[in-house]
Amino acid sequence: MKPDPRIGLGLCAWVMGDRERAVLSWERSLDLVSFTLRTRELEADEQDPESWVALLLLGLAALNNAREPSSGTVDRVESAANGVSYVQRAFKLNNKCSAAALALSTTAGLDGQLPMASKLAERAIQYADTKHHSVLANAERGRLGFVSGDVADAGPFIAAAKAEDGGVNVIAELTLGQIALKNGKSAYRCVCQSIPADDQEIYEKLSTLSSKVRSA
């Protein structure tokens, strides 16, 4: 049946706090895909193009578990590895999935693979299908620019995240703060050049941070 109702049931269970049931629903969806492939006598490495949704959700669930403080180190490492594997499989089936690209960008950045992480973040921006994904992807790309040491590169993405968010974007604000604290006035000017002239909120925040640096 297309679309698979187990995907929606899993999402409902996740929102209601029953994460175990959600994961079981998505795993069941993949099991049915595998059964279909066997009955059609397809090669083992072939996948139903629609299975990327279940793979992505299982991957995100595993990555979420990897951040659970109550879990042991071994369990967190295993969850992270499984999560990346699932998301990579999903991205292979649908390389226009913004959520998959963003998740892979974050993990690549944590591993120190900054060029790859930046490209994945840009792809997430390119194919963002919701405002939320666009804001997160721009903020992450701006952060990666700062981590790479290129303030001018980070500025436009931070500005885009701020413009689309409409509120306080934590990643963007922290990146702006780090830029000002690390580089002082010169960084303040670089970022200001990429920020809309009418965005007084960002100017005020940058000005305050820059003043603290100069007086330190």
CATH numeric code, 95-216: 1.25.40.10
* Of the listed ranges 4-8, 165-169, 182-186, the one predicted with least confidence: 182-186
Start-end ranges of CATH 1.25.40.10 in the chain?
Answer: 1-94, 95-216
The reported pTM is 0.75
Q: Give the torsion sign (CA, 172, 175, 179, 185).
A: positive
Helix (H, G, I), strand (E, B) or coil at 2: coil
Instruction: Examine the pLDDT at 206 and tell me if it is beyond 80.
Output: no
CA–CA separation, 18 vs 108, rounded Å?
Answer: 29
CA 144 to chain centroid:
12
Average pLDDT over residues 46-59: 81
Burial environment of residue 33 by CB neighbours within 10 A (0 to 12, 13 to 18, 19 or more)? middle
pLDDT at 152: 85
pLDDT at position 24 over 70: yes
181 versus 82: the higher-pLDDT residue is 82
- pLDDT of amino acid 177: 77
Q: Which residue has the higher pLDDT, 186 or 55?
A: 55
Q: What is the mean pLDDT of residues 130-147?
A: 92
Q: Mind giving me the DSSP string for 143-179?
A: HHHHHTT-HHHHHHHHHHHHHHH-S--HHHHHHHHHH
pLDDT band at 35 (very low <50, low <70, confident <90, very high): low
Fold observed for domain 1-94: 1.25.40
* pLDDT value at residue 45: 43
Question: Does pLDDT of 65 surpass 60?
Answer: yes
Q: Work out the number of other CB atoms within 10 angstroms of the CB of residue 25.
A: 23
Least confident of 11-15, 147-151, 182-186: 182-186
- Check residue 127 and report its DSSP letter: T
State residue 213's pLDDT score.
45
Which DSSP category does 18 fall into?
-
What end-to-end distance do the CA atoms of the chain give, in Å? 64
115-145 burial, b at 16+ Cβ within 10 Å, e below that, comes to: eebbbbbbbbbebbeeeebbbbbbbbbbbbb
DSSP 8-state symbol, 96: T
Q: What is the pLDDT of residue 184?
A: 59
